[in-house]
Amino acid sequence: MVSLAVFGSMNAVLGAGTRIAAERTTGWNRQLRLTPLSTRAYFSTKVVTGYAVACATIALLYVAGAAFGVRLGAGHWLEMTGYLLVGLVPFAALGILLGHLVTADAVGPTVGGASAFLAFLGGVWFPVGQTGVFHDIAQALPSYWLVQASHVGLGASGWGREGWIVIGLWTIIAARLAMRAYARDTRRA
């Protein structure tokens, strides 16, 4: 259940890129630039929409898990959900970046491929082990820390300093790249 919550919510937030690419293709982004809508409001709306879908995904999986016998204390449910929501921030920025870099025809496979790649290397589908090169690579990815967030519901401890640093760095880098891609689109429009 927790791995599905990670994978589903990660895809939901990355999906903002799909909507952005479609809007770019139809010229909707260009129309929005002519309105008083601020860039911050535009991006906030995309992130909130992605989070709404992610929260629906998480809630449905929690209900299904509870229906099939998953029993966790309220504190575990809340703590796990909190970590999941924080861990999704770099994926929101990455989704916005991809939406501004690729065409509407290519964004689906790109988002799907990126999601599968990050899920595979981050240990969503199987444990990555405690040592070795694969573990080291996984720890440098936000998907690994998203998986660790889901384990909080199973009694594991929250992220250490390394997890917060990785999530923070990925968020900063992806957000800056997304802003550059948006600015590039604005200059072309």
Check whether 72 has a pLDDT greater than 90: no
pLDDT tens, 169-179?
999 999 999 98
**Distance between CA 105 and CA 122 in Å, rounded?**
27
pTM above 0.95, yes or no: no
Q: Is the dihedral of CA 33, 37, 38, 40 positive or negative?
A: negative
